[in-house]
Amino acid sequence: MLAAAEHAILYLVSFALLALGVGILALMIPTIFQKGTSGAEMIIIIIEELLLVLIVLEIFVMVQTHLGGGRLQLEPFIIVGIIGVIRHILSVVVRLTVPGYPAESRQQLMELVVYAGSVFLLVAALALARWSQREPVPSAGGRGDPGSSG
């Protein structure tokens, strides 16, 4: 009974995630055509919103994998983190393009440094996760080290 309840909740979450993705895309369209938005700002808004849709869809895929009997894996969570941080980087870049006070710009540049460090760490974690799941390469001739004699 508990497993059936879990599946029902996961299906509800799946439908909610799909609706959220469609809603984000639908709300993006009027935002794009607001008066006073420059071309560069419009492009960055579109990219940010599409990255948000990617995050939602990645979570949707994780839920679907779990519903299909698969185990939750680390990689999709890291990918969602990378996409999220990149989205924040784009947000800071948009704020930096608007003329402001030097103190604000300094703070925003520090944010960029922190976000860049976060992306670096998440990419390193993703590489480590993928490296740890690799199949070992069989040695030539089954004798151990290919460079060893004997």
**pLDDT tens sequence across 57-92:** 888 988 888 888 777 778 888 888 998 898 888 878
Delimit the domains of the chain by residue range: 2-134
Can you tell me the mean pLDDT for 90-108?
72
Question: What are the structure tokens assigned to 52, written together?
Answer: 């948000």
pLDDT computed for residue 101 by the predictor: 53
Question: What are the structure tokens assigned to 18, written together?
Answer: 């799909």
